Amino acid sequence: MIVFSDLRERSGFAPILADRIWRAWWEARGVPLEHVAARVAENLGPGPIPSAFVAHDGGRFLGTASAITHDMDERPQYTPWVAAVWVERDARGEGLGSALVRHAAAAIFRAGWPRAYLAAAPRRRTFYEGLGWQVLEEAVGEERMTVFIREAADETADQT
């Protein structure tokens, strides 16, 4: 059975979470795994942000998403962010990515923030728009990222 847990409750997943985030976004940039592992460890402190969430089936890691203060140096005025969304290859296509994004955004809204931001490669635009995220900016930064916004009020409206 697939369960979504706060990393604080399942800290044994921290090393695999750090590895996946590192391989997906930081390894090619020359950032050491230890740096990413230290950032992941910050999610084990008192919340609500940063917080990391894991999807798992017992001890099997399936995916992750985080709620963090800042995700883009180019946009320090935006906070907080849903970030580091990852689903294991063999678990993709089952709706886990969508559920993880919703889970992280809901944590941000429960903590009292009125909106959340998310940055993604342009090729992921349709995915996030399908989840109700609105494009705020395009072609941001060196990687030409799309910045999305989601209002807490929109989240509430989707649940009625």
Which CATH number do you get for residue 101?
A: 3.40.630.30
Within-domain flag for 158 = no
Residue 72 pLDDT: 95
| Number of structural domains the chain divides into | 1
pLDDT in tens, 33-45: 999 999 999 999 9
> Parallel, antiparallel, or unpaired for β 81-87 and 115-120?
parallel
The number of angstroms, rounded, from the C-alpha of 13 to the middle of its chain's C-alpha atoms is 15
Within-domain flag for 150 = no
Residue 47 pLDDT: 78
Q: Is 30 left (phi over 0), alpha (psi -120 to 50) or beta?
A: left
Q: Which residue has the higher pLDDT, 157 or 31?
A: 31
Residue 150 pLDDT: 98
Residue 38 pLDDT: 97
pLDDT in tens, 100-116: 999 999 999 999 999 99
Averaged pLDDT for residues 63-90 = 97
pLDDT in tens, 20-34: 999 999 999 999 999
- In the chain, % of residues over pLDDT 90: 93
- In the chain, % of residues over pLDDT 70: 96
DSSP label at residue 89: G
Within-domain flag for 79 = yes
Q: How confident is the model at residue 159 (pLDDT cuts 50, 70, 90)?
A: low
Cα of first residue to Cα of last residue in the chain, in angstroms, is 26
Residue 155 pLDDT: 65
Indicate if the pLDDT at residue 127 is higher than 50: yes
Within-domain flag for 33 = yes
| Pair of tokens at residue 68 | 């963090």
Domain hosting residue 41, numbered range = 2-113
Within-domain flag for 127 = no
Within-domain flag for 43 = yes
Residue 160 pLDDT: 41
Q: How confident is the model at residue 91 (pLDDT cuts 50, 70, 90)?
A: very high
